[in-house]
Amino acid sequence: MRATGPIARATSTTEWASQLAARVRITDLLVLLWVVFGVQIGWVGLDRTASGFSGSRGDITISYTVVSLVIVAAWMLALELFDTRSPRVLGVGTQEYRGIADGAVRLFGLVAIVAFLFKIDVARGYILIAFPLGVLVLLLSRWTWRQWLGMMRRRGQLASRVLLVGSEATVTTIAREFARMPEAGYRVVGACVPAGAGDVLPGTRIPVVHGLANSLAVMRDFGADTVVITSSDELGPEQVKRLSWGLTPGAEHLVVAPSLIDIGGPRIRTRPVAGLPLMHVETPKFEGRKLVAKRIFDLVVGFGIVAVLSPLLAVVAITVKLSSPGPVLFRQQRIGKNGKPFEMYKFRSMVVGADAQLAQLLAEQGTGEVPLFKVANDPRITPIGRFIRKYSLDELPQLFNVLGGSMSLVGPRPQVPAEVELYDRGAHRRLLVQPGMTGLWQVSGRSMLSWEDAIRIDLFYVENWSLTGDLMIMLRTARAVFLPAGSAI
């Protein structure tokens, strides 16, 4: 087994992570300089001073330029302290965005306290504009970096090279999860299993080495910089500890993957007890303050969207009415929270009597027993219906379902009774929350996902939903509507 080459390759991986963090640091600095000094010049001017210091207000004068420089320096430090540039958080998940928001809120509070204690007369508008605007532009900058980093990782670049160690079943599961989301930055280059029949993992091209005793040497032979331990009876606590001792500090990394998938970060808490890294997994809650906050969010945002889009709603309604005979709205029974049926509204995009033709069309294409059905080249869709479906305009009347309480802005897609009858026990957990106009599986592939993938993604949402996650889904939905890659169901 060779060690020199792989270790050098691992070092280069550390180098790209450091270079990426440095580039993000530079763009953060440029953003903050532009925002803070831009607000200063626009609100108070370049040369104005702020006065005051514990005694009388004329004791000391401080230039706003100095104040701006201090705020920028403190903001850069806050971004560092809240771990927003770590390779572990860049490009995936919400921790990066939460760190940016938390750091800004705490810095804003610190500035307010300092200004009060030292009686520094800083213009309130300058502070109240600079901080929210700075957060928004920082988030936009990081989102841009995320798009670029995701593109590079899908090409197999700028990702940790991973050796999976554990039983064949658990290793295969983790490998498939990593392959499903290359944006996470883990590229599997090999696997180490106790025993097996083949030289590659089932269903993949990942090479396999049998036997766990030489995992460290195998990792370096594959040129990996990260070893991910899944599970195995042959790899006990002492072997794992010795494996960690053999890793090159800063260049090679150890990750332990528990036998849990589709569990969101906010539900996981680690707690060291007597040298044991215990992981606490909170059970999901479907009642209480979070649901009240979600309902308030639905009402406020729903009313706002209806007010803004009311002219568009009128235009679409008139166009549908004039384009083909039949009602403007299509009403269909769907299954909502806790299995309660409700009537869902859509702009009519099909000819009258389309439901009567569905069974025959599904039978002809052989998908009559498949949930989340979709008729290919559906002849029932009207010309205007095809257009409004492409841009999801037919879904807009569901805003009134949201305001009425039968739906939410974000949640699992409500399905017809015939599809719900095909649910297994796990799929029924979709009915624990309010169905939504949009959801995680729609923005993860819209109607192109398989039934199994759609259910898995919906269950992930049900188990881990949050208002922050809902907002991210809505932003991704807006992007999918303006850059449609498929049509919604």
> Into how many domains does the chain fold?
3
- With CA atoms as reference, report the closest residue to 28 among 129, 108, 140, 148: 140
Would 470 be classed as within a structural domain? yes
Domain membership of residue 226 (yes or no) is yes
The pair of three-digit structure tokens given for residue 6, joined into one six-digit string: 């792989």
Cβ atoms of 185 and 92 within 8 Å: the answer is yes
Read off the tokens for 232. 């195995």
Answer yes or no: do 445 and 378 share one domain: yes
165 and 146 share a domain? no
Shared-domain flag, residues 300 and 250: no
Query: Residue 27 and residue 13: Cα distance in Å, rounded?
Result: 21
Whether residues 86 and 200 share a domain: the answer is no
Task: Let me know whether 167 and 145 are in one domain.
Answer: no
- 41 class by beta-carbon count within 10 Å (0-12 exposed, 13-18 middle, 19+ buried): middle
Write down the pLDDT at residue 480: 74
The rounded mean pLDDT for the chain is 81
313 plus 448 within the same structural domain: yes
Within-domain flag for 488? no
- Tell me: do 385 and 294 sit in the same domain: yes
**Residue 284 forms part of a structural domain:** no
For residue 301, is it within any domain?
yes
pLDDT digits (tens, 9 = 90+) for 269-308: 677 766 667 777 776 776 778 888 899 999 999 999 999 9
423 in the same domain as 442: yes
How does DSSP assign 1-68, residue by residue?
Answer: ---HHHHHHHHHHHHHHHHHHHHHHHHHHHHHHHHHHHHHHHHT-SS-EEE--SS-TTS-EEEHHHHH
Q: Which of 239, 259, 279 represents a domain boundary (last residue)?
A: 259
Amino acid at 186: Y
In terms of C-beta density within 10 A (0-12 exposed, 13-18 middle, 19 or more buried), how is residue 205 classed?
A: exposed
Residue 272: inside a domain: no
Confidence (pLDDT) at 363: 58
Please check whether residues 166 and 243 belong to one and the same domain.
yes
Contact criterion met (CB below 8 Å) for 100 and 1: no
Q: Please report, for residues 308, 332, 463, the alpha-carbon distance to residue 348 in angstroms, rounded to integers and kept in the order given.
A: 22, 11, 33
According to the model, what pLDDT value does residue 314 have? 94
Same domain membership, residue 230 and residue 169: yes
Same-domain status, 380 and 399: yes
CA distance 385 to 407: 23
Check: pTM over 0.95? Answer yes or no: no
Indicate which CATH number applies to the domain containing 236: 3.40.50.1980
Q: Taking the CA of residue 49 as centre, how many other CA atoms within 13 Å lie in the half-sphere pointing to its CB?
A: 10
Check whether residue 140 and residue 123 sit in a common domain: yes
Is the CB of residue 477 less than 8 Å from the CB of residue 398? no
Residue 70 lies in a domain: yes
Whether 50 contacts 120, CB under 8 Å: yes
Residue-wise pLDDT tens for the chain (489 aa)?
344 444 444 445 677 888 898 999 999 999 999 999 998 888 877 665 554 444 444 455 667 788 889 999 999 999 999 989 888 888 887 788 889 999 999 999 898 888 778 777 777 788 889 999 999 999 999 999 998 998 998 888 888 899 999 888 888 888 988 888 888 889 999 999 887 667 888 888 899 988 888 888 899 899 898 999 887 677 777 888 888 888 888 788 888 887 666 665 566 767 776 666 777 777 677 677 888 889 999 999 999 999 999 999 999 999 999 888 889 998 989 999 989 999 999 999 887 766 666 656 555 555 545 555 555 566 778 888 888 888 889 999 999 999 999 999 999 989 888 888 878 777 888 888 899 999 888 787 555 667 777 788 888 888 888 887 888 888 888 877 776 554 444
Which residue, 422, 437, 238, is CA-closest to 336?
437
279 falls within a domain: no
d(CA 37, CA 46): 8
Please give the residue range of the domain that contains residue 337.
Answer: 289-482
- Token pair for residue 374? 């979709």
Using an 8 Å Cβ cutoff, are 348 and 321 in contact? no
SS3 430: helix
Residue 227's Cβ-side half-sphere holds a number of Cα atoms within 13 Å equal to: 26
Residue 79 CA to residue 96 CA, distance in Å, equals 10
